[in-house]
Amino acid sequence: MKTVQKLSEIANIRSGMVVAKTANNDEKLLSNAYVRMIGTSDFDDNGFLTPVLEPNVLYKTVIEKNYLQYDEVLFNAKGRRFFACLFKNEFENTIASASFLIVTLNTGCVVPEYLVWYLNHPETLKVFDSKMTTQVMPSITKQELGNLEIIIPTFETQKQIVALDLLKKKQTVIQKELITLEKNYINAITYKKLKNEQ
C-alpha cells in the first residue's frame, strides 16, 4: 500500500556550506589541512559524481559536523538544472557546497535510491518548473523542498523501480557507446573511400 508524505516528514534537510575554495590543493603537502567540497560542476550531465575530486577547502572545526554521510541525498537546488544524487562515501571528509540541500532520511521505509529516482523524475521536477521562468538564478528553498509530497509505495515496489531505473541508465550508456562506435566506423569507411579514389 502506498502513502504520500511531505519530504520534511520522512527526512531532515540541511543546507550546504558557504566556504571559500583554496588555490593550493596539493594534497601531499597538507593532506590533513584540506577537505573536499562538492559543487555542481563536479557532476556530469547524467548526474554522476566525478571519480576525481581534489581537496579544495581548508579544514576548520565547524566543517566537521557537515561532513557528508553514507546514503545522504544531495539535491542541487540552485541553477538551471535541479537534480538529486546519492552520496556513497566516494570521498572521505567531504562537504557539499551551498548549491545543495542535503537530505538525510529518518525512516527505514524509504529506499535512498528510490528517493533519488523520485526527485529526479520529470513529473516531480515539474513542480519547480515555474522557477525556471520567474527567476534569473532559479533556486529551491529548504522549505519548498521539505513541502514536496513524496509518493511512497511498498518497499518491494521501491526496489523494483530502482532496479528498472538502473537498467535504463545502463541501456542509455550502451546506446551512447554504440552511437559513438557507429559514427567512428562510418567516418573511417568514408575517409578510406575518399583516400582510395585519389
Please write the tens of the pLDDT for every residue from 76-121: 999 888 999 999 988 888 999 999 999 999 999 999 999 999 999 9
| Confidence (pTM) | 0.81
Q: Is the pLDDT of residue 132 over 80?
A: no
Average pLDDT score over residue span 135-149: 91
Closest CA to 16 of 71, 77, 60, 82: 77
74 grid coordinates? 544531495
Please write the tens of the pLDDT for every residue from 22-36: 765 555 555 566 888
Closest CA to 73 of 83, 81, 64, 65: 83
Among the ranges given (108-112, 134-138, 162-166), the one the predictor scored with the smallest mean pLDDT: 134-138
Using alpha carbons only, what angle is made at residue 116 by residues 127 and 150, rounded to the nearest 5 degrees?
50
Order of strands, edge to edge, in the sheet holding 57-58?
57-58, 34-38, 94-96
CA distances to 23, 82, 161 from 86, in Å: 28, 14, 16
Domain ranges in the chain are 3-153, 154-197
Instruction: Give the integer Cα–Cα distance in Å for 101 and 111.
Output: 18
Q: Which CATH number fits domain 3-153: 3.90.1150.10, 3.40.50.1370, 3.90.220.20, 1.10.3720.10?
A: 3.90.220.20
The predicted structure's pLDDT at residue 29: 55
The predicted structure's pLDDT at residue 82: 92
Contact (Cβ atoms closer than 8 angstroms) between residue 73 and residue 113: no
Which of helix, strand or coil describes residue 157?
helix
